[in-house]
Amino acid sequence: MTLTTIVFLNSVKNLLSNDKMAELLILFLILLCIVLIVSGIMYKCTDGTMNASDFSFKGCFSFGDGSDDKPQEDKSATEEVTASPLLSDSSSMGNLIGSGSIDNEDDEGEVDYSSYMDYYKSSTTPVRAREEILQVCRGIRDNKSGGCGADPVMVDTDPPIKIHIDYLDVDAKNGVGECAKICYDQDETIDGKACNAFQMNNDNKKCRLFWSQSESVDNGGRTNKVYRLKTTRGSADHESELESKYYNGSNVITFSSTGYKDTKYEFYLGQYNVPHEQGVNSIIIPEDKCVLGFSDKDLGGKRLGSSYFGMDTSRTTLDGSGNPTPIKSVDIGSWEDGICTWYPRDATAAEEDGTATIDMTTSTADTADQAPAADSTPATGSCRKTNTNITCRGTRCSEKTDAASCNSHNCCTWS
């Protein structure tokens, strides 16, 4: 009796197992049929190319051997190319950019946009794009009698004139892949500057080209990803543009914020307390100047820069440990025969040497300080320079308003 029961249970188990195998086989056959049907439809509707961009309902319902004597119609000259969903940055298929070739409007043949995407890195970090517009007196803009005096209110020009041209909007009907090609091939430039980054507009029909890769916290209401070239061209950001502009200048250029932003001050040779409470957080040093920065006023606190070579041009001022450190005072020297000449740092040494300038006031250098002409004798009761030596350029005698402060500087005399 027991043996019979065991045999019965095993038979049931084998039967159930066979049913499951049959179900799996049926399911596999159904899926295979679906795949074959879809493939057949795609083959038929794309005229054998299997390319989604060639899909045509007309092709799906056409029959015959294709030997009709009726000439083929040139669609490229009459039909507008539409954006492929594979090239839309807002679609869920955005990572499959350019997976198929697309006919462009210039009849140049098929362009595989996917290959251009390899030259870029993507992120959600916006690109800095300045939006400043030139303003003039309304009296001048409207040509009123008396000009600004007639109507001094500042208004935009008509038409508006951009102070900075940081971007250019162009058509990109085939989506992000086409924009990548335009930027990489330099089909368009931004006020003569090479394209280094781009971003699709929210409508995915136009894209914005940028010459700069500078980062920003403001996306300007734009939601798509930003694509930056891995290998940049020209001055690829606002920071490098400023470095090129001032590197061959005469003055040391400092900024209150990192990345050369916000309040700017210029200094020539000498020692200065920085005229800004939060100090200097970025600095551009010309090639003929050497600079030591200090975290406190009067050349006190931490020193930034080597005692022999000084600091380097820096988008973020760092101490010896690599920590961001604002500069509150600077000592600016000059290079001569590979050696940086620093000024004496105390008034006694300055008096004995007769050439050094100790100016710990909150003054800044202006254009006149860069190349002062020989001084003429000023009116009685004013402070003037008495030594035209180059070391006097860091001293602004005209800012001394009494005899005591004027005469405390060896380059200045009250008369």
Residues 6+ apart with CB under 8 A from 70: none
Residues 6+ apart with CB under 8 A from 2: none
Q: Which two tokens stand for residue 219?
A: 């996306």
pLDDT of 209:
96
pLDDT of 69:
46
pLDDT of 176:
92
Phi-psi region of 287 (alpha: psi -120 to 50; beta: other; left: phi over 0): alpha
C-alpha–C-alpha distance, residues 342 and 274, integer Å: 18
pLDDT of 282:
94
pLDDT of 109:
54
Query: What are the sequence ranges of the domains in the chain?
Result: 119-235, 240-341, 347-414
pTM: 0.49
C-alpha–C-alpha distance, residues 271 and 291, integer Å: 10
pLDDT of 16:
55
pLDDT of 364:
33
- For the chain (length 415 residues), average pLDDT per consecutive 10? 49 61 85 84 72 68 52 41 35 39 49 87 92 87 87 88 90 92 93 93 92 86 91 87 86 91 88 86 92 91 87 91 92 85 55 41 31 35 63 57 66 74
pLDDT of 268:
86
Q: Taking the domain 240-341, which CATH number applies?
A: 2.60.20.10
Whole-Å CA distances, 410 to 84, 92, 302, 354, 364 = 75, 73, 29, 7, 19
